[in-house]
Amino acid sequence: MCGIVGYAGPRRATPILLEGLKRLEYRGYDSAGIAVGQAGGEAPGSQTGRGGRLAVVKKTGKIAALRSEVPPELPGSWGIGHTRWATHGGVTDANAHPHLDASGKIAVVHNGIVENYRSLRSMLEKEGVRFASETDSEVIPHLVAKYYSGDLEAAVKEAIARLEGTYAVAVIHADEPGRIVGARNGGPLVVGVGDGEMFLASDVNAMIAHTKEVVYLSDGELVVLDPEGFRTTDRQDRPVAKKVDQVSWEAGAIEKGDFACYMEKEIFEQPESIDRALGGRLEADSATAKLGGLNLDRRQLRQVGRVRVIAAGTSWHAGLVGAQLLESLARIPAGAELASELRYRNPVVERDSLWFAVSQSGETADTLYAMREIQRKGGTVLGVCNVVGSTVARESDGGIYVHSGPEIAVASTKAFTSQLAAFYLFTLLMARMRDLSQADGARFAEALAGVPAKVEETLRCRGAVQAAAKKYARATDFLFLGRGLMYPIALEGALKLKEISYVHAEGYAAGEIKHGPIALVSPETPSVFLVPDDALREKTISNMREIKARGGPVIAVGVEGDDEVAAIADDFIPTPRMDPRFYPFTMVVPLQLFAYFTALELGRDVDQPRNLAKSVTVE
């Protein structure tokens, strides 16, 4: 899960590469580097040789560290860059990309894992090649050099034919000015088409400031680009005609604006992002939902006997909510599973099951591989994705885009509530085809349309949540507890806190604590309870009392005016009263804010927490 950029055009490549890397920093941020081609002229750090030369700068740390190492006026009008999230080899300057061949004329950036790198490395070492890093990636420039005889494209084809595993690569040669060769097999790669200049990157964020015309490469495709244009070929070397897509959002969508960090911005954007997810999909007259991308007609949907969701992390939590809702409202048996588990247990793919692969990035390896396994067994898999053109989106049999807009912070917030919106829409559609009456459907649709306004109201809890975060910031363990639809929200609250504040937290079904976790309760271990005014309210209140009786502090996220809950809790965070089926949208918000403010209190890097990356393209 590294990030790749490339530029070829009339401008100085360095600032464009550095800016692109900054946009991709969310993908990995332990080290970064650039290689810039110079058709003439000397530059500090350049690898000399015949013809052109490459200036290479690599540095551990974030892009800012790399930026301070790069000579201010470094010349060169084509180049590649990389931001790394270490897999093979520690975090060192030498292990940072780009990697070079022995002559220093070929530079490669790589995202993915070369699974057979040990055998390739020992083969190359026997041939006299000396390696400069511990990475799997470094075999690639040496392989390209081995096959190079004046044609970079041909050499890259030969080299990648020998790679096993996943990759997105970009390669340049000092003697082939303005040319970049890219190839993908399992890692995302997008071409940006500019006016007399071309871009290449792991995602469109890196190039949106320069062009909105993009081409998504598919697995097995190779691209050769130069300032004048690009051409793509497949594994059999046949030309592939590609469609140029238009990116629908503006560069401003990836600016922080007045917010301190992206996570805060994205939390506060949720009223609009949920609105976008619902946009034009609710049909008031027939009280149902319209989801054109499913690629299934009513007859096929009517035959669905079971819904199964696969996902990871936060997306799995959205799937857990979706599955509960489908069962209770559409009366379809449904469940959500971790993709990383499902993939290796030879799942039964029943004829009448409909599968959903939920993924914000659409690149999560666990989800993608599980999806392919189900498709191999003949199952139909729909994607619920945010990133347009992502691998899950393209390889699924249909699906629902959640339209949250770019989510930059590593911790997922607005994508989660938009994923929920997708499941609520799908549930309405399925329920209306089964037992839900027009009148009940209309009530559900109206409440769903009202969710963005309720989330807007909920965001007013900011001050109360910040105070609670301050009060409990020194606690080292938390419990997050809820029942029914609030159980996945408890899991999500615990995950958010763990990932950005590094504080240990357990999400649990509130009814389950007496079976073990209650032993953790003490005055030092706060419990965060989710207490909507639903059918399970009394049961949840009993669980709160159990914790209080054992001296555990209780923070309750409840419904405004619920004096009973407020009286039991040490801290009460009110949220607006609403149709109980919709509380997942609002009650997750104080938990997102709680994690955010706790992380701030503890001085953490909120947007880029340690050890994590935004899209996890390794297993």
The residue count of the chain comes to: 619
Are the C-beta atoms of 2 and 581 separated by less than 8 Å?
no
Q: How far apart are CA 475 and CA 594, in angstroms?
A: 13
Which of 314, 404, 427, 543 is close enough to bind ligand F6R by CB under 6 A?
Answer: 314
**111 part of the interface to ligand F6R, by CB under 6 A:** no
Catalytic residue selected from 2, 261, 385, 461: 2
**360 part of the interface to ligand F6R, by CB under 6 A:** yes
- Going from the C-alpha of 549 to that of each of 236, 482, 553, the distances in angstroms are 70, 18, 10
- Going from the C-alpha of 294 to that of each of 278, 290, 331, 389, 419, the distances in angstroms are 15, 10, 20, 15, 15
| CB 207 to ligand F6R: min, Å | 20
**273 part of the interface to ligand F6R, by CB under 6 A:** no
| CB 232 to ligand F6R: min, Å | 26
Which range, of 265-273, 404-412, 443-451, 530-538, touches ligand F6R by CB under 6 A? 404-412
Which range, of 168-176, 361-369, 508-516, 599-607, touches ligand F6R by CB under 6 A? 361-369
CB-based closest residue to ligand F6R: 313
From its phi and psi, is residue 390 left (phi > 0), alpha (psi between -120 and 50) or beta? Answer: beta
| CB 100 to ligand F6R: min, Å | 32
Which range, of 155-163, 313-321, 394-402, 574-582, touches ligand F6R by CB under 6 A? 313-321
Q: Which contiguous run of DSSP H or E holds residue 594?
A: helix 583-601
Which range, of 274-282, 408-416, 454-462, 548-556, touches ligand F6R by CB under 6 A? 408-416
Which range, of 38-46, 54-62, 357-365, 372-380, touches ligand F6R by CB under 6 A? 357-365
- Please list, residue by residue across 330-353, b when 16 or more beta carbons sit within 10 angstroms of its beta carbon and e when fewer do: bebebebbbbbebbeeebebeeeb
For the question of residue 385 being annotated catalytic, the response is: no
**38 part of the interface to ligand F6R, by CB under 6 A:** no
What string marks each residue from 429 to 468 as x (binds ligand F6R by CB under 6 A) or -?
----------------------------------------
Are the C-beta atoms of 530 and 590 separated by less than 8 Å?
no
For residue 389, report the phi and psi dihedrals to the nearest 5 degrees. Answer: 80, 5
Which is closer to ligand F6R, CB of 206 or CB of 497?
497
**380 part of the interface to ligand F6R, by CB under 6 A:** no
| CB 384 to ligand F6R: min, Å | 9
Q: Write the DSSP assignment of 248-305 as a string of letters.
A: -S-GGGGS-TTSSSHHHHHHHTHHHHHHHHHTT-EETTTTEE--GGG---HHHHHT--
Q: How is residue 414 written in tokens?
A: 């607005």
**205 part of the interface to ligand F6R, by CB under 6 A:** no
Which is closer to ligand F6R, CB of 95 or CB of 315?
315
Find the radius of gyration of the CA atoms of the chain. 26
Which is closer to ligand F6R, CB of 428 or CB of 618?
618
Q: How is residue 496 written in tokens?
A: 């958010």
Closest CA to 201 of 184, 220, 177, 185: 184
| CB 362 to ligand F6R: min, Å | 7
Which of 38, 83, 111, 359 is close enough to bind ligand F6R by CB under 6 A?
Answer: 359
**8 part of the interface to ligand F6R, by CB under 6 A:** no
**418 part of the interface to ligand F6R, by CB under 6 A:** no
Q: Write the DSSP assignment of 105-151 as a string of letters.
A: -EEEEEEEEETTHHHHHHHHHHTT---SSS-STTHHHHHHHHH-SS-
| CB 592 to ligand F6R: min, Å | 9
Closest CA to 502 of 410, 589, 426: 410
Are the C-beta atoms of 79 and 7 separated by less than 8 Å?
yes
The answer to whether the peptide bond before residue 98 is cis (omega within 30 degrees of 0) is yes
Q: How many residues bind ligand F6R (CB under 6 A)?
A: 16
Catalytic residue selected from 58, 212, 265, 614: 614
What string marks each residue from 587 to 616 as x (binds ligand F6R by CB under 6 A) or -?
----------------------------xx
Q: How is residue 123 written in tokens?
A: 């083969």
Q: How far apart are CA 95 and CA 88, in angstroms?
A: 9
| CB 312 to ligand F6R: min, Å | 4
- Sheet of strand 571-575, all strands in order from the earlier edge strand to the far edge: 504-509, 477-482, 527-530, 554-559, 571-575
Q: Binding to ligand F6R (CB under 6 A): which residues in 463-502?
A: 495, 499
Which range, of 259-267, 359-367, 548-556, 585-593, touches ligand F6R by CB under 6 A? 359-367
| CB 412 to ligand F6R: min, Å | 4
Which is closer to ligand F6R, CB of 111 or CB of 288?
111
Which range, of 42-50, 71-79, 93-101, 354-362, touches ligand F6R by CB under 6 A? 354-362
**315 part of the interface to ligand F6R, by CB under 6 A:** yes
125 residue type, one letter: E
Closest CA to 408 of 249, 544, 210: 249
Q: How far apart are CA 53 and CA 155, in angstroms?
A: 19
Which is closer to ligand F6R, CB of 46 or CB of 413?
413
Which range, of 214-222, 308-316, 330-338, 566-574, touches ligand F6R by CB under 6 A? 308-316
Which is closer to ligand F6R, CB of 109 or CB of 384?
384
| CB 27 to ligand F6R: min, Å | 11
Which is closer to ligand F6R, CB of 36 or CB of 495?
495
**367 part of the interface to ligand F6R, by CB under 6 A:** yes
Which of 361, 404, 575, 598 is close enough to bind ligand F6R by CB under 6 A?
Answer: 361
- Within the chain, how many helices (H) and strands (E) appear? 20, 28
3-state secondary structure of 20: helix
**166 part of the interface to ligand F6R, by CB under 6 A:** no
| CB 311 to ligand F6R: min, Å | 6
Closest CA to 359 of 591, 188, 109: 188
* Residues with a known catalytic role: 2, 614
Q: Which residues bind ligand F6R (CB under 6 A)?
A: 312-315, 359-361, 364, 367, 410-412, 495, 499, 615-616
